[in-house]
Structure 1
Amino acid sequence: MMNSKSDMIPHYFVDDGGAFAPSGLARNPWFANAVAGGPIAALFGHLVETAALDPDFEICRLTIDILGVVPSIPLIPRIAPVREGRQVQLHRIELLANEKPVAQAHLLRARALDTPPFPAVQPHPAPEDVTEDNFLVGASMAGAIRTRPIMGRVREPGRGVSWMRMDGEVVRGVAASPFVKACLFADFGNGVGSATHAQEWSYANLDISIQFFRMPRGDWFLLDAHTEGAGNGHAVAQSIFADSDGVYAKGTQTIFVAPGRGAD
């Protein structure tokens, strides 16, 4: 039984014997009684870390597909190998609701080797040099997510850049690692770097793809995001992810563009 201190920490899910029950903080902003993409991505990160996978392989890519509206009911994971080669491994992870797959992830890993680095440029100021502010509007996880914005703002069109920190838990009673937090923030690109006003055009993401150079480190994570599209109902949100040591990943989201709540 959890003690009162653990119960007070903001969290997205409760592990009830292998079924992950969403809390109210995991609510989807687009649909009632549904789970948002960020908590889903973070839960996949938790499942990756807790799976019994070969430790000699490095995570290269995590791709997440949202297969429909994810209902706010207990979600049951299912993990299966797709490829188990000497140099590359690929696993599929599914989340089931009422025995139906509602989201899936593909985890690509390569054998760890000592090779020359090709670091990406990180032109942004360090988190300690940026003033803290409420950048995310209504997506702060009951205050557990703090931000230090550099450019833009959620729900305002244009490129957005901000340092972010998450001091809550994805699964109650389990400290979230930098990797799990990075999976959470990978879902934020379509909001941070949106190209439209939410009341005029919605921009829900259909998937999340993260290409990792290395595993993230520390407490503060930078997201630099913008969205591009051809005016035909879908677009691509592109994100750069960094920590205090530099860029650790790049990512994309496929965005479904449709009339917003305030549109005629």
Structure 2
Amino acid sequence: MSTGNGTPARGSYYERTGEHTFKPTPHASGAWSDDEQHFSPLGGLVVHALERHLAAAPRPGMALSRISHDILGRPALDECEVRVGTVRPGRTIELLEAVVTIADRPVVRTRAWLLASGDTAAVEGGAGERLTPPEELESWPIADEWPGGYIASVDVRPLAPPRPGRTAAWVSTPLDLVAGEPAGALTSFLTLVDTANGIAVRQSPQEWMFPNVDLTIHLHRQPSGDWTGLDTSVVFGPTGQGLTSTVLHDVHGPVGRAEQLLTVRPLQP
């Protein structure tokens, strides 16, 4: 939706413009360039499309358990189309694919595995300890480190002062993903996961670029709540590659892991 003068409505990252199309608002703008989308809300938009696809033809007893985004090109801050299809149907295992297109060019290709759910509480274990609850922590002015509309929109609460390459923090946002549309718990949680690459930087983003070319998420439990916990470590290798690795938490404990492959290079003046 828009205001009467045609400017984007405040309070969301996207506005729906058609059955499969969305217009990003300034809140979705990226960290290294304000005319491109930060991948956090864009990745959330893909999960939103996946969940709506599943709602149209429910798969009872199945859960989205792995979501792997490949970022094929620069996602301009322009209208985007998200299409979802089934690659491998099945009653206990199913593979979906989503493609994001901007200006007739695919910029994201996502594959998502659904796995059958069942009662395995008797053998549950190995997930790890909970993080300190977010209500016990202070907000960190991450916008002092990073520019961009997306970063300005989030509340980041680290468990301890961030260190180069190592931070654990909670992230939340007061904004809707798509104006006027409820988002599922999984979508809301995963919308914030790509923030991980910005909370434990090894070098200043004013001097170095280290964008991720993918984001792969594995879940052993479906998340809930309004906060996404990121227990993140970042490694830079000696030849221009890096890796951001994150244990994902909700307020009840760990729910899975995320990996982001980085391309590391000096920022050109």
TM-score normalised per structure 1:
0.88
Whole-Å Cα distance in 1 between the matches of residues 78 and 148 of structure 2?
21
1:73 Cα shift?
A: 1.8
2:97 maps to 92
Partner-residue secondary structure (3-state), 1:151: coil
2:168 maps to 1:161: yes
Partner-residue secondary structure (3-state), 1:237: strand
Change (3 A) 1:192 1:143: closer
Partner-residue secondary structure (3-state), 2:210: strand
1:173 maps to 180
1:39 maps to 41
1:257 Cα shift?
A: 0.3
Partner-residue secondary structure (3-state), 1:47: helix
2:25 maps to 1:16: no
Amino acid at match of 2:155: R
TM-score normalised per structure 2:
0.87
Q: Taking every aligned residue pair, what percent have the same amino acid on both sides?
A: 24
Cα offsets for 1:115-152 (capped at 9, x unmatched): 23224112521222222342454467486422222134
Change (3 A) 1:145 1:38: same
Say if 1:151 and 1:159, in contact at 8 Å, map to a contact too: no
Amino acid at match of 2:14: F
Say if 1:10 and 1:142, in contact at 8 Å, map to a contact too: no
Q: Which runs of 5+ in 1 are unaligned?
A: none
Amino acid at match of 1:190: N
2:201 maps to 194
Amino acid at match of 1:50: R
The one of 229, 232, 237 equivalent to 1:225 is 232
Whole-Å Cα distance in 2 between the matches of residues 123 and 73 of structure 1?
39
Cα offsets for 1:184-241 (capped at 9, x unmatched): 2211121112222223321101110111112211112211111113211111100111
Whole-Å Cα distance in 1 between the matches of residues 156 and 138 of structure 2?
9
The range that moved more, 23-32 or 88-97, is 23-32
Whole-Å Cα distance in 1 between the matches of residues 15 and 185 of structure 2?
20
Say if 1:152 and 1:192, in contact at 8 Å, map to a contact too: no
The range that moved more, 194-203 or 144-153, is 144-153
How many equivalent residue pairs?
258
Q: Which runs of 5+ in 2 are unaligned?
A: none
1:148 maps to 157
CA RMSD for the aligned pairs? 2.3
